[in-house]
Structure 1
Amino acid sequence: MSYGDFAYIYDELMSHVPYDQWVKLVKDKQEKYSINEGNQLLDLACGTGELSIRFANEGFAVTGIDLSEDMLAVAHSKAMEHQQSIQFLQQDMSELEGLDQFDIIGIFCDSLNYLQTEEQVTQTFKSVFNYLKDGGLFIFDVHSVFKVMQVFMNQTFALNDEEISYIWHSYQGEHPNSVEHDLTFFVFDEETGSYNRYDELHFQRTFPIQVYEAWLKEIGFELLDITADFENTPPQTQSERIFFTLRKRA
């Protein structure tokens, strides 16, 4: 999907997101499971590059891929500001092409949930498998069915701040276990002294853990662990974010 104007206010809206916990999780999994010591990392659906830059700061050689040209423009600018050499490419993560293989591939911040069909999800897993080195790690997280159906569904979220305000309505999507987020943002323009309005419609869909697990095993991944909510514990009934760690068999 294309984020349009949303890309340029995304970081401010997501300032509360615990990005460092994703970095710690990846480093912990690499130390625990990786059979190679490579540092080539592919950050799929990298958005504005917030995680890509953090990984680069930790010594990873990072490539970031996103579908949104606007997101990538922000990411490139931020990487230059942080004096990090990161290759950013515009591609669909379900149709990767022309890449080298990587030691670690990640899809973070529930980005996989933006894929609408089973075919897109499974094709993404196949693309990851093809571009992962033998013994390499694949790490991703998704919203749980509980979060989509019980936390998001038919809820309204709002923020009233001096610089940015928003109204966010979530309602049932077209597919099972899917949600549509109808967002309206008001962003203060210092030059005019008024607020500009932006409207975005975002779609997310998830699947039961067992479905993801079956797809991944069929493709050939070795399942290392499934945890939840940044805790090194198995998912529970009301877990909201599910983490999968897999390895490409050598």
Structure 2
Amino acid sequence: MNDIAVIALSRWERQQLAAIWRFFPFASDISWHYLYTGPEDQEELPAHPGFRPQAFSAANPVSAMRDHIEKEGITRLCFASLGTLRRWALATGSSPITLYEGARLSLADLSALEEGFTARIDELCQALARHPAILLAEAETLGQPKDGSVYADFEAFRRARYGELLCTGNRDLVSAVCHSSLPSFTVRHIGEGWQALNLALDEEKVDFLTALNRLRHASADAVENTPGCKSGSPSAYQTSYSLFAQYYDSYMSHVNYEQWVDLILSWHKRVAQETPKRVMELACGTANASEILVFRGMEVDACDISPYMLHVADAKPFKPSLFLNSLTDPIPGGGYDLIFCLFDSFNYLVKKADAIQLLNHAHKALKPGGTFVFDISTLKNSLENFCDTTSFNRVRDGYLVQISTYEPLTYRQITHLLLFRKNLNAYERFEERHVQRVYRSPELVELCAASKLRLKAIFSPDTRPNLISRDGNDLDNRYFRLFFLLQKPL
């Protein structure tokens, strides 16, 4: 078991971390020790076997936390902010080097050191397998590191582009270059005999995506540095619907969610002969459909595999009860009148075994007579709308490019989402890759028949009749989207 201590010393940090912990994808092979100041019940925290929050209200919380860390034998630390690191270093008398690692720049902040600069630089660069670089103005103070380069100024270093580690004790330079764009860097601290990551929750408006990714990085780093140990939860590190979550509602603004909800409810009533009271939405995304049902007075639960999407959903006024869950995980709770899974989320189940597993989980979570409704993007939709196509959309702070291809031999729909987000006078590039299986109606009918549920209807939003008696191949070539309605026997 890997143990990581996350340390927060301010109320601001606790508030931000509470939002991150709420939907955090805990892995089975990591134990998180969340050490924070203040009363235990001040923030709502999740209950998970691998999550161990501990409040410290003593006059000297750092000393108490340090004793707790030593008692538990924790060697991996993660500070909530640079401010917390400074308080920790002051209280413990340590002088760590802060390392900022970005795509275009790696910088070591030596401002906490008072002496022994050259030796610490040599030791650091040897451990990182990097060549050091210093600026001419600091050469007298820092000395001449082994295999190091000296540059006239920062611009000369940046133009060189040799991938060296810039070592500096200039706080103003660090502030101007790194603190002004913290989301672009991974922040580490290297002390004498210890290392730590930093979530850098120092900004007025923290980027949830960046903060959560840093916490995930701490998890991945712990696993990768444990001999013979691999991640216990592959889904915990998936990137689909991460950055895109911030733009999802804008991207889906063309969807009439009220109409979709009305269709689902009308189809359910045709089969179940009653209006549902207790509802579950799977792969809810930002919970736009569930929000409508909550507004209409229904008891609604909703889950998704993306903590980023759930974070957006959690800010909505009529949000359902939200939790992190994948389509192949057992559905918590039971006795649902209606379970639904929309917007071709079912297509993300590229293995038939996963699709069967979902059907079985839905059967277990439904009450007798309850229905499960899911939709699929059809072969017609892939061939006509997503086969070698590129679309371009303007978003609030950049541009979103969607590149779609269809692989007929494997029935796979591949979508690349490229986001170019403006950052000061430049653009940052982000990419997500989505893979979907284009199911054919006949094979879905077979899958449904093999489950404990009973396929009662196949609908299209373009026509009212039940299409279950129609030829499946004809359905795939005629309609862009199909809805399958299954019922749990009484």
- Asked if TM exceeds 0.5, the reply is yes
- Which of 39, 48, 60 is the equivalent residue of 2:298? 60
Q: Aligned AA for 1:215?
A: L
Q: Distance in 2 between matches of 1:113 and 1:54?
A: 24
Q: Kindly provide the CA deviation profile for residues 22-52 of structure 1, in whole angstroms up to 9, marking residues without a partner as x.
A: 1111221232221455411000000011111
Matched with 1:74 is 312
Task: Return 233-242 or 56-65, whichever deviates more.
Answer: 233-242
Matching of residues 29-108 of structure 1 within 5 Å: 29-35=267-273, 37-78=275-316, 82=317, 84=318, 86-108=320-342
Matched with 1:224 is 456
User: What SS class does the counterpart of residue 350 from structure 2 fall into?
Assistant: coil
User: What SS class does the counterpart of residue 183 from structure 1 fall into?
Assistant: strand
Q: Aligned AA for 1:10?
A: Y
Matched with 1:199 is 431
Q: Distance in 2 between matches of 1:159 and 1:38?
A: 37
Q: Kindly indicate whether the alpha-carbon contact (under 8 Å) linking 2:287 and 2:319 is maintained by their aligned counterparts in 1.
A: no
Q: Distance in 2 between matches of 1:73 and 1:58?
A: 22
Q: Select the structure with the greater relative contact order (CA < 8 A; seq sep ≥ 6).
A: 1
Q: Aligned AA for 1:240?
A: F
Task: Return 166-175 or 146-155, whichever deviates more.
Answer: 166-175
Matching of residues 1-250 of structure 1 within 5 Å: 2-35=240-273, 37-78=275-316, 82=317, 84=318, 86-160=320-394, 163-173=397-407, 176-188=410-422, 192=424, 195-233=427-465, 234=467, 235=475, 237-250=477-490
More strand by share: 1
Task: Return 90-99 or 13-22, whichever deviates more.
Answer: 90-99
Q: CA deviation at 1:148?
A: 2.0
Q: Kindly indicate whether the alpha-carbon contact (under 8 Å) linking 1:177 and 1:205 is maintained by their aligned counterparts in 2.
A: yes
**Distance change (3 Å), C-alpha of 1:71 and 1:135:** same
Q: Distance in 2 between matches of 1:244 and 1:218?
A: 15
What is the TM-score with the length of structure 1 in the denominator? 0.88
Q: CA deviation at 1:65?
A: 0.8
Aligned length: 244
Q: Kindly indicate whether the alpha-carbon contact (under 8 Å) linking 1:173 and 1:203 is maintained by their aligned counterparts in 2.
A: no
Q: Kindly indicate whether the alpha-carbon contact (under 8 Å) linking 1:229 and 1:240 is maintained by their aligned counterparts in 2.
A: no
Q: Kindly indicate whether the alpha-carbon contact (under 8 Å) linking 2:379 and 2:477 is maintained by their aligned counterparts in 1.
A: no
Q: Kindly indicate whether the alpha-carbon contact (under 8 Å) linking 2:374 and 2:483 is maintained by their aligned counterparts in 1.
A: yes
Q: Distance in 1 between matches of 2:398 and 2:251?
A: 8
Extract structure 1 runs of 4+ deviating beyond 6 A: none
Q: Distance in 2 between matches of 1:187 and 1:29?
A: 41
Q: CA deviation at 1:134?
A: 0.5
Q: Aligned AA for 1:11?
A: D
Q: Aligned AA for 2:382?
A: V
User: What SS class does the counterpart of residue 9 from structure 1 fall into?
Assistant: helix
Q: Kindly provide the CA deviation profile for residues 145-199 of structure 1, in whole angstroms up to 9, marking residues without a partner as x.
A: 221234312222222466442221112359722111011123456xx37654321
Q: CA deviation at 1:220?
A: 2.6
**Distance change (3 Å), C-alpha of 1:38 and 1:227:** closer
Q: CA deviation at 1:19?
A: 1.3
Q: Kindly indicate whether the alpha-carbon contact (under 8 Å) linking 2:401 and 2:417 is maintained by their aligned counterparts in 1.
A: yes
Q: Distance in 2 between matches of 1:28 and 1:37?
A: 8
Q: Aligned AA for 1:138?
A: F
Task: Return 114-123 or 220-229, whichever deviates more.
Answer: 220-229
Structure with larger Rg: 2
**Distance change (3 Å), C-alpha of 1:231 and 1:195:** farther
Q: Distance in 2 between matches of 1:126 and 1:171?
A: 31
Q: CA deviation at 1:241?
A: 0.4
Q: Kindly indicate whether the alpha-carbon contact (under 8 Å) linking 2:342 and 2:375 is maintained by their aligned counterparts in 1.
A: yes
What is the TM-score with the length of structure 2 in the denominator? 0.47
Gap regions ≥5 residues in structure 1:
none
